[in-house]
Amino acid sequence: LFRSIHADITEVDLQNAICAGDDNGYIHIAQMNGGMPFDLLWDNGATINNLNNLSAGIYCVDIDVLESCVIDTSYCFEITEPDPLLYSIVDTAYIDSLSGFVISIDISGGTEPYGEATWSGPNGFVDTGLSIQNLTDGGAYVFSMSDANGCSLDFSARYVK
């Protein structure tokens, strides 16, 4: 009699990409059963248990149990990533010569909660939040913030007097 052996992955450690576009995900096959020597063949050509530096996508592995009458097994794993951290300018307005210019933005994507939004600008200007006002000095106003994963969003808005 021949006995069929079916190799199973019983434990996998999987890390998704931390920020949109990152290649820091991984798939680590931590434990298998089947009791026989086996070969792994990933769809990217790798033949090891641990795939590192992965971007978002689907990664499949074929398991071939050696020295037996075997039922080959395939598994697929998905590495995901958060949506990109984006901004959109909601409002820009000149109020008057005393109140100056206003810039308001919205944030989307990334992983909430978002960190504190900070602005810096000409002549030592510093502010926090998604809306800044009383901009009376022309120049670049730099916005910076991070999401819960530490993914950063930085951009510059120029106010021309």
Please tell me the chain's helix, strand, coil percentages from 3-state DSSP, rounded to the nearest 5: 0, 60, 40
27-52 residue pLDDT tens: 998 776 765 667 888 999 999 999 99
Per-residue pLDDT at 13 exceeds 80:
yes
User: What span, in angstroms and rounded, lies between the C-alpha atoms of 136 and 42?
Assistant: 59
Q: Of 55-59, 73-77, 98-102, 130-134, where does mean pLDDT reach its minimum?
A: 98-102
pLDDT at 19: 97
Mean pLDDT of 63-73: 68
Per-residue pLDDT at 152 exceeds 90:
yes
82-139 residue pLDDT tens: 999 999 988 888 777 777 788 899 999 999 999 999 999 998 999 999 999 888 777 8
* DSSP code string of 16-29: --SSTT---EEEEE
User: What span, in angstroms and rounded, lies between the C-alpha atoms of 63 and 13?
Assistant: 17
Structure tokens of 69? Answer: 């009458």
Q: Of 52-56, 63-67, 154-158, where does mean pLDDT reach its minimum?
A: 63-67
Pairing of strands 4-6, 69-71: parallel
User: What span, in angstroms and rounded, lies between the C-alpha atoms of 37 and 60?
Assistant: 20
Mean pLDDT of 51-73: 83
Question: What does residue 98 show for φ and ψ, rounded to 5 degrees?
Answer: -85, -45
Cα–Cα–Cα angle for 22, 152, 128, nearest 5°?
A: 170
The pTM (predicted TM-score) of the whole model is 0.78
Per-residue pLDDT at 71 exceeds 70:
no
